[in-house]
Amino acid sequence: MLLAAIEATNFRNLSGRIEWGPRLNIIYGNNGQGKTNWLEAIYLLARSKSFRTQRLPETIRFGEDLAIVRGTVVAGNDLQRELQVSLHDNSKTIFLNSKRETLARYLTQLQVFSFTAADLDVVRGMPEARRRFLDRGISSLKPAYLKTISDYNKVIKQKNRVLQLANENELGPDKVEDLLAPWNEQLVRLGVLIHQAREEYVAGLNAALERQLFERRDITTRYVSSLENKGHLTNYESLLRARIELRLSAEVAAGHALIGPHRDDLEIHLEGREIRVYGSSGQQRSALLLLDLAAISLYNLASNDHPVFIIDDVDAELDEGRIRHLLEYLENRTQTFITTSKRSHVQEFFSRAGVYEIEDGKVRSSSAAASLATGNRSV
């Protein structure tokens, strides 16, 4: 699936409609004009969230109470689908072909991978960012996994409510065990599925990284279960059950669930050393890019399809030679959107890319050969 066009109304400073090319799209202009806002709109359209803020009302233009982002997606059989995200105050509504859609189905319509400043949390931040990275990648290959993660998060939320009441001495020990039993049963069932899916995905990432994507870097990953060294992980279900029973009093004291894959992590190594601890800023950026490319490679292999790949401020992250190498590598693998304030770094790609100059949130000039929206597909 490829993004043919996008239209924004009252989303940050954006206005108007842009028709995109099927391969490389270069968004350039001076700083502060809205280049990154267009990438954010693409991300919102695909994932119904922002990569810049968790508070979507912040993205609504000042003085307005409604923002809308619409887009046209073209599937491999040339069928078009219309996606829309509407933001009103603190509410969000998503539409597929003008009809309200469930989030689980909506998120299968357009796959997006991103390389932005916020994504650096994957290599330098807390475990939650790395778990999200894994779960997004798995969901791109297995859409049903979205429901597994959603159901697991609901179970943890309900279990935490019981544990909080117990922590506040509002429930006796026997009552706590009775109330926790059904939630723990679901936690084990879903936890096993999550653990297995993440381990398989990490194995796939490492296989892709071994293929020397883009540039030579000895990057490897390792999935780290929170139950490591607590027993035999080969029988994860039994170990998970046993640890939940053993840690009941500790969970009550903490007031929240301490056992399960929501406590797991992903280690990322460069030449055998954990890059989060020992890597330089440049090495961390390179590692993140290689992880993204590995995830894209897995998606290409599994779906025989092009995902969207957005790269914000490409010249700030990569030098001119590496930009050239990267864009050549991505050709025929992704529909790529990059922003830059230095057009000289990507000038040689202008003849084979969609090129958009942004000023005050609008397209001042464009050159979009082979636009998908006009039906001239050349994927």
Tokens 């997004």 sit at which residue? Answer: 136
Q: Which domains does the chain have, with CATH numbers?
A: 1-111+305-379 (3.40.50.300), 120-303 (1.20.1050.90)
According to DSSP, residue 305 is labeled: S
**Chain segment 218-241, per-residue pLDDT in tens:** 899 999 999 999 999 999 999 999
Residue 278 CA to residue 275 CA, distance in Å, equals: 5
Rounded Cα gap, residues 345 and 99, in angstroms: 42
pTM (two decimals): 0.92
* Span 293-313, pLDDT tens digits: 999 999 999 988 899 999 999
pLDDT in tens, 241-296: 999 999 999 999 999 999 999 999 999 999 889 999 999 998 999 899 999 999 99
CA distances from 144 to 3, 102, 301 (A): 23, 13, 18
- Reported as a pLDDT band with limits 50, 70 and 90, residue 215 is low
Indicate the pLDDT class of residue 372, thresholds 50, 70 and 90.
Answer: low
Q: What are 129's two structure tokens?
A: 């960012």
Instruction: Report the alpha-carbon angle 361-362-366, nearest 5.
Output: 135
**Which contiguous run of DSSP H or E holds residue 340?**
strand 335-340
What is the distance between the alpha carbons of residues 74 and 197, in angstroms, rounded to a whole number? 29
* Alpha carbon distance 237, 193 (integer Å): 10
Give the separation between CA 295 and CA 297, rounded to whole angstroms: 5
| 134/171 Cα distance (integer angstroms) | 37
Please name the amino acid found at residue 25: N
